[in-house]
Chain A
Amino acid sequence: MSRSEKITVWVEVKGGRGPRRFRVGRGCQVSDLLRRMGLLSEEFIAVRRGMVVAEFEPLKENDRISLIKVFSGG
């Protein structure tokens, strides 16, 4: 298994548009994904199958990640 091998993950920002598909390197972590999307880990919490995922957690093939915005405003 090499980092150059690609996997598919689906990412949805809660309250935003539907899930978007990303091709990322195997071993890519949640923090790498956020960076690639131009988002700050300070501003989002990642959830997979209803459980919070730490930012050092590696993504798996066909993962569905929901991102909850910390600052909703109001």
Chain B
Amino acid sequence: MAIRCDFCTSKARYLQRHSGAKFCGRCFTKSLRRRVWRDVGRNRMISDSRFAIFAVSGGKDSVACLDIVAPLGRVRRTQMAVLTVDEGIRGYREEGIKRARKAARASDLEFHTASFKREFGADLDSIVDRLGSPKRACTYCGVLRRWILNRHARDLGADRLITGHNLDDEAESALLNLIRGDPARLARSGPNYILSHEKLVPRVKPLRGIPGKETLLYDIFNRLDVHLGSCPYAGFDFRNQVRSFLNQVEEDRPTSKSSFLSTVDRLSAQFARLYAGGRLVECSRCGEPTVGGECKACQLLRSVGLL
């Protein structure tokens, strides 16, 4: 006999290991939306926003985030749009951009693109060629993507940048920051945005409490078209080792990631007080906000001869 959903009579499709609850697709969708909407409200992510931009890659998280949060924005009469960055990764990025455009159309939002090639004069593939190895591709990609997202969101007049980071991403980043011994960065993380510079568009992460598995389930249950391909450079990142470790711990002890992240959040609140004096200033070259001197994006571009 089929095992039933705990909330209706339909067949159960998912066992939420940390709670023990069994869900059918419909009840799971309702529950996940409710959790995200509650977090968006509790952390005042868009409550006073006039114009919010969704950073959408076309992958499982950003597409789910758009699908869940856009209706909430409409109710609150927040103007919204979608922004996608084309990093320029042959044979990989094109599919994601197609999905991002489709998701924007489905939510009836304006679609904007920005690209490494247009902004920096070189795409990620040619930056990797200049580096001579793909080992640091994720470092360059991450820093330059954040630079572009902030610049374009600000140019479009946005007062929020909504990203699809999920619980796994956040737990990984927290552990990476601890391993690297970077408490200042830890101080800048956390569930609540801090307006630390007038040129920095505050970033909010509605899926911060949702495991990656659940965002993919949401996509599948709601037939959202997402790009599931693997980035050819992702395998070289140290983050993969951290991810495997955390997944193994979570498998053995469900709730580990969320307890770890909430502990780190409490620590980061303490660190934020310690590092409160470190205000952001404008980069001496590009004018974007940075901790001092030349920003990381300019330093990286200079290192590969693009400045």
Of B41-49, B128-136, B226-234, B287-295, the one touching chain A = B226-234
Mark each residue of chain B from 213 to 240: 1 if its CB lies under 8 Å from any CB of chain A, else 0. Answer: 1001100110000001111001101001
A74–B161 Cα distance when bound, in Å, is: 19
Of A2-10, A20-28, A63-71, the one touching chain B = A63-71
* Residues A54 and B235 in contact, CB atoms below 8 Å apart: no
Which residue in A14, A42, A52, A74 is a CB contact (below 8 Å) of B234? A74
With known contacts A42-B250, A74-B59, A52–B230 Cβ distance under 8 A:
no
Of B12-20, B31-39, B103-111, B181-189, the one touching chain A = B12-20
Interface size on A, residues (CB 8 A): 22
Residues of A within 8 A of B25 (CB): 52
CB distance from B145 to the nearest CB of A (A): 11
* Residues B3 and A56 in contact, CB atoms below 8 Å apart: yes
Residues of B within 8 A of A40 (CB): 247-248, 251
Which residue in B13, B229, B230, B234 is a CB contact (below 8 Å) of A51? B13
CB distance from B32 to the nearest CB of A (A): 14
With known contacts A40-B248, A42-B247, A70–B13 Cβ distance under 8 A:
no
Which residue in B92, B213, B243, B250 is a CB contact (below 8 Å) of A74? B92
Interface of A is mostly: loop
Which residue in B22, B211, B217, B231 is a CB contact (below 8 Å) of A52? B217
Is B212 at the interface (CB under 8 A from chain A)? yes
CB distance from B219 to the nearest CB of A (A): 10
Interface size on B, residues (CB 8 A): 34
A54–B92 Cα distance when bound, in Å, is: 30
Mark each residue of chain A from 46 to 74: 1 if its CB lies under 8 Å from any CB of chain B, else 0. Answer: 01000111111100000000001111111
With known contacts A42-B213, A45-B216, A45-B220, A54–B12 Cβ distance under 8 A:
yes
Mark each residue of chain B from 265 to 288: 1 if its CB lies under 8 Å from any CB of chain A, else 0. Answer: 000000000000000000000000
Residues of A within 8 A of B86 (CB): none
A41–B15 Cα distance when bound, in Å, is: 11
Is A15 at the interface (CB under 8 A from chain B)? yes
* Residues A45 and B230 in contact, CB atoms below 8 Å apart: no
> What residues of chain B have their CB less than 8 Å away from a CB belonging to chain A?
3, 12-15, 17, 22, 25, 57, 59-60, 92, 96, 168, 211-213, 216-217, 220-221, 228-231, 234-235, 237, 240, 243, 247-248, 250-251
Nearest 4 CB-CB pairs, A to B? A73-B234, A74-B231, A52-B13, A40-B251
